[in-house]
């Protein structure tokens, strides 16, 4: 076995929903599944940029230990509800927003008057409830971008003097779980596979959060490494060739070689092979450069041909 440390790859992303996904990373040097999983989890939970309400003002309420005429909840309850409103803010400046509501009924996040730089992620989230049909409610909000958690004391120094400070949870990542399994490459059986599941609040996609956390770690470690560089082993495919394929074991044992395999060697139907070649797709590498939609749009190519190609690649475990 090589004494070099394996360079892992992101081999699969399983999207459970728009806010949850599992990332499969392999092959990892022995023990690195736990090392990478723990560091990614900590950064994802503490360091991803997000937006939150940091201060507010309600007409008729001078401090948080009071109530508002015509509103069912007191100020403390409203503060708790404001923490649950999730924003997507474009730009780095603090945003001043307002709610103006009259009449009986719930006040929800969709009642916030936004601008071109602010989007409400959960518009149905309830902020307060008006129980008097003749009452009116006006609230001013300050929304800021930050990372992690900021206490009321930290925010009080930055808030306008006539507003009530609010402790802010900026992190858009709600939960991160990871699991380490064994994997093998060739004769090496002591390598790790990391399964990392990320759940977000919807203001950022799991993939974007994953990439941002990775970039943060890269920047931190690069600053510490100075000029020292370690030669890493080439990324290795964990796939194994199927016995009924004409591709040789040498090809599949070396990922770059396998990607250079000619389309004509895949034993596809003549129609599918000709369609691919006529569209300047001559190797498996050319094939992988296109997604399913782009392949379907090729001249002379369609869904049946796509299904045939995917079945052949699955048969070859590529």
Tens-digit pLDDT profile for residues 284-311: 777 777 777 777 777 777 777 888 888 8
69 and 144 inside one domain: yes
The mean pLDDT value of the chain amounts to 83
Structure-model confidence comparison of residues 157 and 317, the more confident one: 157
Average pLDDT over residues 135-146: 93
What is the chain's length? 318
Does residue 213 sit within a domain?
yes
Burial of 271 (0-12, 13-18, 19+ CB in 10 A): middle
For residue 258, name the pLDDT band (cuts at 50, 70, 90): low
Of residues 5, 102, 117, 22, the one with CA closest to residue 59 = 102
Predicted structure pTM score:
0.68
229 or 221: which leads in pLDDT: 221
For residues 112 and 198, state if they share a domain.
no
Same domain for 204 and 258, yes or no, is no
With contact defined as beta carbons under 8 Å apart, do 9 and 26 qualify? yes
Same domain, 164 and 275: no
Q: Could you tell me the CATH number of the domain that includes residue 137? A: 2.170.120.12
Is the pLDDT at 16 greater than 70, yes or no? yes
Q: Do 104 and 214 sit in the same domain of this protein?
A: no
Percentage with pLDDT > 90 across the chain: 45
Taking Cα atoms as reference points, which of 191, 238, 178, 195 lies closest to residue 30? Answer: 191
Is 230 part of a structural domain of the chain?
Answer: no
More confident residue, 222 or 1: 222
Q: Which residues partner with 173 through β-bridges?
A: 200
The answer to whether residue 205 is domain-embedded is: yes
Class of residue 161 by CB neighbours under 10 A (exposed 0-12, middle 13-18, buried 19+): exposed
Q: What is the pLDDT of residues 22-79, one digit of tens each?
A: 999 988 888 899 999 999 999 999 999 999 999 999 988 878 788 888 899 999 999 9
At 243, the pLDDT band (50, 70, 90 cuts) reads very low
Residue 136 placed within a domain: yes
- Check which CATH number belongs to the domain holding 192 and give it: 3.30.1360.10
Is residue 239 included in any domain, yes or no?
Answer: no
Sign for the CA dihedral angle at 218, 224, 228, 230 comes to negative
If asked whether residues 36 and 122 sit together in one domain, one would say no
Are 147 and 208 in the same domain? Answer: no
Our measurement of the distance from residue 74's CA atom to the centroid of its chain's CA atoms, rounded to an integer in Å, reads 36
Give the whole-angstrom CA distance, residue 213 versus residue 39: 9
pLDDT at 1: 42
| Residue 55 structural domain | 49-169
Co-location of 113 and 90 in the same domain: yes
For 147-156, what is each residue's pLDDT tens digit?
999 988 887 7
Overall number of domains in the chain = 3
* pLDDT band per the 50, 70, 90 thresholds, residue 238: very low
**Residue 3: pLDDT band by 50, 70, 90 thresholds?**
low
- For residue 233, name the pLDDT band (cuts at 50, 70, 90): low
In a domain, 231, yes or no: no
Residue 317 — pLDDT band, cuts 50, 70, 90? low
Indicate whether 26 belongs to any domain. Answer: yes
- Could you tell me if 185 and 41 lie in one domain? yes
57 and 115 share one domain: yes
Q: Residue 129: its pLDDT value, please?
A: 94
Residue 95: what pLDDT? 92
User: Do 55 and 149 reside in the same domain of the chain?
Assistant: yes
Q: How confident is the model at residue 206 (pLDDT cuts 50, 70, 90)?
A: very high
Whether residues 69 and 89 fall in one domain: yes
């Amino acid at each position: 076995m090589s004494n070099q440390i394996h360079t892992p790859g992101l081999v699969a992303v399983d999207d459970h929903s728009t806010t949850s996904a599992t990332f499969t990373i392999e092959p990892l040097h022995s023990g690195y599944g736990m090392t990478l999983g723990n560091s990614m989890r900590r950064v994802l939970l503490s360091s991803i940029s997000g937006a939150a309400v940091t201060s507010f003002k309600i007409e008729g309420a001078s401090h948080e230990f009071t109530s508002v005429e015509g509103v069912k909840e007191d100020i403390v309850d409203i503060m708790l509800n404001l923490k649950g409103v999730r924003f997507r803010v474009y730009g780095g400046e603090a945003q001043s927003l307002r709610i103006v509501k009259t009449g009986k009924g719930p006040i929800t996040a969709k009642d916030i008057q936004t601008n071109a730089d602010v989007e409400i992620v959960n518009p149905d989230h309830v902020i307060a409830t008006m129980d008097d049909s003749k009452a009116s409610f006006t609230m001013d909000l300050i929304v800021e971008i930050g990372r992690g958690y900021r206490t009321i004391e930290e925010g009080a120094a930055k808030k306008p003097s006539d507003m009530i400070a609010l402790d802010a949870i900026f992190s858009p990542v709600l939960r991160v779980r990871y699991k380490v399994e064994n994997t093998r490459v060739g004769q090496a059986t002591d390598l790790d596979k990391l399964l990392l599941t990320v759940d977000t609040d919807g203001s950022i996609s799991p993939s974007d959060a994953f990439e941002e956390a990775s970039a943060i770690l890269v920047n931190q470690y690069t600053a510490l490494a100075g000029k020292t560089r370690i030669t890493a082993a080439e990324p290795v495919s964990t796939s194994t060739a199927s016995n009924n394929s004409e591709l040789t074991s040498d090809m599949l044992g070396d990922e770059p070689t396998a990607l250079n395999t000619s389309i004509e060697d895949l034993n596809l139907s003549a129609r599918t092979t000709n369609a691919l070649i006529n569209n300047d797709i001559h190797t498996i590498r050319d094939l992988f450069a296109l997604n399913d939609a782009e392949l379907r749009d090729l001249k002379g190519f369609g869904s049946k041909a796509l299904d045939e190609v995917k079945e052949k690649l699955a048969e070859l475990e590529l």
